[in-house]
Amino acid sequence: MVVTVAEEGNRRKGGMSIAEARQCVNDTITWFKRIDDFDCIEGSEEDLEPLAKATTMEVPTTLVCLLEACKGSIWFAEKMGLSADGIVDALGKFDFGDKLLPFAADEDQEYFLVINDKTGEVCEFESEDGTLGDVVGTSFENYLESYSQSLMSNKYEYVEDCGLMEKAGAGRK
């Protein structure tokens, strides 16, 4: 008997459920807990109230889960995740317009990862000239899920004060 596989994996139809979002966040935080100096302080719904007031965008459910599970301190490569207060501060300090929501920044807050409310995509953003850079995810959910899978696949290593660096050869098969 011949079996033909039309598609690899168990592909999701539709968006990420709340349970899947929480599991993705949990997987990501679990990976970071292996790092000696990782300090994850849990957030709360009250922490998110100023953020809801500071933006007209709907904050993606997966980002809400992440902010409630850990106030910042998650590295996205060389950019540190922002807490809800950090996002509010960045919105007040830089001109993101009304369609961009920052969630991570480099140490000098020159380069950000933002969610583009118009397209839903995760993009790089340069604060100095206010330009959008490369699209790094089709949505925050997809970006975090792909990132979490890369962490779980041991494709990154933590470098103190630098963030996460992709291991040599980790991106190749």
pLDDT tens, residue by residue, 6-62:
556 666 567 788 899 999 999 999 999 888 778 888 888 899 999 999 998 999 999
Torsions phi, psi for 38 (to 5 deg) = -75, 130
Which string of DSSP letters, residue by residue, matches 76-89?
ETTEEEPPHHHHHH
**Is pTM beyond 0.75 here?**
yes
Cα–Cα distance between 81 and 44 in angstroms, integer?
A: 16
What beta strand segments (E) does the chain contain?
A: 75-76, 79-81, 100-105, 111-116, 122-126, 131-137, 156-159, 163-166
- Nearby residues of 9 by Cβ (< 8 Å), 6 or more positions away: none
| Residue 28 tokens, joined | 């990501």
pLDDT tens, residue by residue, 58-116:
999 999 999 999 987 899 999 999 999 999 999 999 999 889 999 999 999 999 999 99
Helix axes 45-54, 84-93, angle to 10 degrees: 20
